[in-house]
A and B are shown apart, each in its own frame.
Chain A
Amino acid sequence: NAGVTQTPKFQVLKTGQSMTLQCAQDMNHEYMSWYRQDPGMGLRLIHYSVGAGITDQGEVPNGYNVSRSTTEDFPLRLLSAAPSQTSVYFCATGTPGNTIYFGEGSWLTVV
């Protein structure tokens, strides 16, 4: 998945801590998004952005914030981590009508 970089790959948080998952792309894609993956539920959309300065909520936005100050970066912030946010997080990018590309994922455990 060249072109979409997520950091960190693994993270353990304590309940109540905050953190930011980073996503960067070098493909000049307009669209960026964050999904979470949970067993048996596929991937669910958290937040997305159709361009710098524009963000919107997806299916499961509660507990997460995003911003899009540049085309390249789309960080996902967990404000006060909860065990229910233990999941695998994927950043994705794309252009209108075309294929969406996924990053390698970030494994987050909240204890």
Chain B
Amino acid sequence: AQSVTQLGSHVSVSEGALVLLRCNYSSSVPPYLFWYVQYPNQGLQLLLKYTTGATLVKGINGFEAEFKKSETSFHLTKPSAHMSDAAEYFCAVRGNNAGNMLTFGGGTRLMVKP
């Protein structure tokens, strides 16, 4: 079975500061890992994903995440926060069931202060 833990349901940063959103996972198979972003009253948009290969993954809007197997982590970072980054972020791991369904963390709401 898979599980995902996102540390911190709310994170607040100042505009221009580093963004770090934490995600730890457990998986009985080699994990496929995802970060999604959700803006208010909208659906989920894929930010980036790790499947195999390079452990540092770059996504849209300047975000990146590093897969660390030894730490079972997949933290999301962005060097400089922008006001438009304010949203809710979800980490997810793909399951090994027939439909490869995703298991999500509880989400982290990112607030960006001017």
The finding on whether chains A and B are genuine partners in a shared complex, rather than unrelated, reads yes
Whole-angstrom distance between the Cβ of A34 and the nearest chain B Cβ: 10
- Number of A residues near B (Cβ < 8 Å) is 27
Residues in A with CB closer than 8 Å to B102 are: 43, 45, 92, 100
Residues in B with CB closer than 8 Å to A31 are: 99-101
Which of B34, B45, B90, B98 is the one whose CB lies under 8 Å from A42?
Answer: B90
Whole-angstrom distance between the Cβ of B101 and the nearest chain A Cβ: 5
Q: Are A97 and B100 in contact (CB under 8 A)?
A: yes
Q: Are A43 and B43 in contact (CB under 8 A)?
A: no
Q: Are A58 and B105 in contact (CB under 8 A)?
A: no
Binds B, one of A12-20, A79-87, A102-110: A102-110
Which of B34, B46, B92, B101 is the one whose CB lies under 8 Å from A58?
Answer: B101
Q: Are B104 and A105 in contact (CB under 8 A)?
A: no
User: How far is A43 from B105 in the complex, measured between Cα atoms in Å?
Assistant: 8
Q: Are B98 and A105 in contact (CB under 8 A)?
A: no
Residues in B with CB closer than 8 Å to A44 are: 104
Q: Are A45 and B105 in contact (CB under 8 A)?
A: no
User: How far is A102 from B32 in the complex, measured between Cα atoms in Å?
Assistant: 17
Whole-angstrom distance between the Cβ of B46 and the nearest chain A Cβ: 6
Q: Are A40 and B106 in contact (CB under 8 A)?
A: yes
Residues in A with CB closer than 8 Å to B103 are: 45
Residues in B with CB closer than 8 Å to A97 are: 32, 51, 100
Which of A49, A102, A103 is the one whose CB lies under 8 Å from B99?
Answer: A49
The 4 closest A-B pairs by CB, nearest first: A42-B104, A102-B44, A43-B104, A104-B43
